[in-house]
Structure 1
Amino acid sequence: MNIKVLGTGCPKCKTLEKVTRDAVREMGITADIEKVEDIAKIINYGVMRTPALVINETVVASGRIPSISEIKELITKNK
């Protein structure tokens, strides 16, 4: 599973990365989590508001920080 956190390094982006890592750890799954800060790469996903969460190359959330339970649900739905 490939998970990307898109954001330029703002506090909300860092929070989303932490919450995502916590959710993956709590689920006990293996996932490659990558932080993408390059604005051109972020725009290529069609994301206009950060932070954004991408699971297996699908944008599942943007412009907000989902809760840990919501991230777990998004991971389960997008395996």
Structure 2
Amino acid sequence: MEIKVIGEGCEKCDKLYDNTVQATKELNIEAKIIKVESLMDIIALGVMSTPSLMVDGKVKSLGQVLSVDKIKKLLV
């Protein structure tokens, strides 16, 4: 599983990343978690609102910091 946390490194983006890491640990899921912080890379992914969460190439969340529990629901 590949998970991308998309955002330019703001506090909300960092929180979404931390919550994503925690969710995968709690679910015991092996996942490659990537921070996408370059504006050009974000645009190339077609994301216009950050922070965002992408799982296996599909956008699951736009413009919000999801809780650990909400992320877990998206991953199972």
TM-score, normalised via structure 2 length: 0.95
User: What is the correspondence of 1:26-45 to structure 2 with a 5 Å cutoff?
Assistant: 26-45=26-45
Unmatched runs of 5 consecutive residues or more in structure 2: none
Letter in 2 for 1:41: D
| Alignment partner, residue 71 of structure 2 | 71
Q: What root-mean-square deviation, in Å, do the aligned CA atoms of Structure 1 and Structure 2 show?
A: 0.7
Letter in 1 for 2:5: V
| Alignment partner, residue 17 of structure 1 | 17
Identical counterparts, % of pairs:
43
- Report if aligned partners of 1:45, 1:59 keep a CA contact under 8 Å in 2: no
Of 19-28 and 62-71, the range deviating more from structure 2: 62-71
Output the CA distance in 2 between the equivalents of 1:41 and 1:60: 17
Secondary structure of 2:71's counterpart equals: helix
State the Cα deviation string for residues 28-58 of structure 1 (Å, max 9, x = none): 1100001010111111222111100010011
Letter in 2 for 1:19: N
Paired residues in the alignment total 76
Unmatched runs of 5 consecutive residues or more in structure 1: none
TM-score, normalised via structure 1 length: 0.91
